[in-house]
């Protein structure tokens, strides 16, 4: 099926070159010790696989309208900035001056709707999230609504987890929406079998709770309506403003998930099967499964999630690069 070009879909990717001496110099001028795990070097080390993200998009999603590549100012030396589908976006181009400079992904993400020329329908990627096999526009949006997994979950407050951010998001959601009314109104979506057996079971078991205890997060790309960002900013300006004033991620911040949760609570989504995307944490046997998925694709989208517990970083990085080079051996039109 051909995409409806009257409703274009953009991709947005944010990228940081953690080895850039100028960026590191500017970062060093500010205190990054508020959330140690969020500001550590592991968040900025390079897997040297960004070119394969562009190759995967060109091969598996040639229908994409525009790619907005968001960066502090540095660019990969191999990137062909003249590609008509590519829009280079500097933080200064769309983030209000009062929030700059920023080293917080929350600020970068919460202001994405301000990117000039951004389509109403867009898919947001981190640089560790890849297309793994061919995808269609209707895998992301259907009837003008983003596709998502409609599932309730409980917030996990583990060491170095994002639980505090999710909790801040839920404060907003529960102040605007009544959980039972939401699930009763959109019961066909919340109990749809595409969500997966475990997710539907959780929805049933957690239904008696009067408030949202959390939502299921896949840690993969997210499908957004630009108008959702505009609405949440209008409704909760002070909360979002306070988060964006922080130079680094801080416990108590809200993050981009608030936009996803808002869409779910409003019923502005259609159900996508849960196994469409998967996040692999690069450690132990998960790494073997990741390599197998790359070679013989099971999921359409995968996240190669790095963290402080990743062992043999250099060895794993080379293994992934070798697989990607076999999977995507030819340069894309985004490369010089």
pLDDT in tens, 314-326: 888 899 999 999 9
For domain 9-327, the question of CATH label 3.90.550.10 is answered with yes
DSSP state of 223: E
pLDDT band at 171 (very low <50, low <70, confident <90, very high): very high
Q: Burial-class residue 94 by CB neighbours within 10 Å (0-12, 13-18, 19+).
A: middle
Contacts of 277 (CB under 8 A, 6+ apart): 218, 220, 221, 299, 300, 301, 302, 303
pLDDT of 33 strictly over 60 = no
What are the domain boundaries of the chain?
Answer: 9-327
pLDDT band at 45 (very low <50, low <70, confident <90, very high): low
pLDDT band at 11 (very low <50, low <70, confident <90, very high): very high
pLDDT at 329: 97
DSSP bridge partners of 302: 130, 278
pLDDT at 284: 67
Q: What percent of the chain has pLDDT over 70?
A: 91
pLDDT of 47 strictly over 80 = no
pLDDT at 2: 44
pLDDT in tens, 213-268: 999 998 999 999 999 999 999 999 999 999 999 999 998 999 999 999 999 999 99
pLDDT at 1: 37
Question: What one-character-per-residue DSSP string does 72-100 give?
Answer: SS---TTB-TT-TTEEEEEHHHHS-GGG-
pLDDT of 312 strictly over 90 = no
pLDDT band at 3 (very low <50, low <70, confident <90, very high): very low
pLDDT in tens, 269-303: 999 999 999 999 887 678 899 999 999 999 999 99
Q: Taken in order 136, 141, 143, 144, is the CA torsion positive or negative?
A: negative
pLDDT band at 35 (very low <50, low <70, confident <90, very high): very low
Quick check: helix, strand or coil at residue 11? Answer: strand
pTM: 0.93
C-alpha–C-alpha distance, residues 66 and 11, integer Å: 6
C-alpha–C-alpha distance, residues 153 and 160, integer Å: 19
Quick check: helix, strand or coil at residue 194? Answer: helix
- Tell me, rounded to whole angstroms, the distance of Cα 23 from its chain centroid: 23
Mean pLDDT of the chain: 91
Contact (CB, 8 A) for 245 and 98: yes
pLDDT in tens, 175-218: 999 999 999 999 999 999 999 999 999 999 999 999 999 999 98
């Amino acid at each position: 099926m051909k995409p409806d070009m009257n409703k274009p879909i953009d991709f947005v990717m944010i990228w940081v070159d953690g080895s850039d001496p100028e960026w590191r110099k500017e970062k060093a001028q500010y205190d990054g010790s508020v959330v140690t795990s969020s500001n550590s070097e592991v968040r900025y080390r390079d897997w040297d696989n960004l070119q394969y993200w562009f190759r995967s998009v060109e091969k598996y999603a040639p229908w994409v309208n525009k790619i907005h590549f968001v960066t502090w100012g540095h660019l990969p030396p191999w990137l062909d900035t003249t590609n008509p589908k590519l829009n280079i976006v500097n933080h200064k181009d769309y983030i209000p001056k009062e929030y700059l400079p920023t080293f917080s992904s929350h600020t970068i993400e919460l202001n994405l709707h301000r990117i000039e020329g951004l389509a109403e329908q867009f898919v947001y990627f981190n640089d560790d999230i890849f297309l793994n096999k061919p995808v269609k526009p209707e895998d992301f949006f259907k009837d003008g609504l983003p596709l998502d997994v409609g599932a309730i979950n409980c917030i996990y407050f583990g060491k170095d987890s994002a639980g505090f951010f999710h909790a801040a998001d839920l404060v907003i959601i529960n102040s605007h929406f009544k959980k039972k009314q939401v699930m009763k109104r959109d019961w066909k979506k919340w109990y749809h079998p595409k969500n997966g057996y475990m997710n539907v079971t959780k929805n049933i078991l957690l239904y008696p709770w009067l408030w949202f205890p959390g939502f299921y997060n896949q840690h993969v790309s997210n499908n957004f309506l630009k108008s959702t960002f505009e609405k949440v900013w209008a409704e909760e300006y002070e909360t979002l403003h306070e988060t964006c004033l922080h130079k680094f991620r801080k416990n108590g911040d809200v993050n981009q998930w608030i936009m996803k949760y808002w869409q779910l609570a409003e019923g502005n989504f259609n159900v996508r099967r849960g196994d469409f995307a998967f996040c692999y944490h690069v450690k132990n046997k998960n790494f073997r499964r990741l390599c197998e998925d790359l070679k013989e694709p099971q999921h359409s989208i995968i996240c190669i999630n790095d963290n402080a517990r990743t062992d043999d970083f250099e060895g794993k990085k080379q293994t992934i690069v070798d697989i990607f080079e076999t999977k995507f051996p030819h340069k894309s039109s985004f490369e010089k």
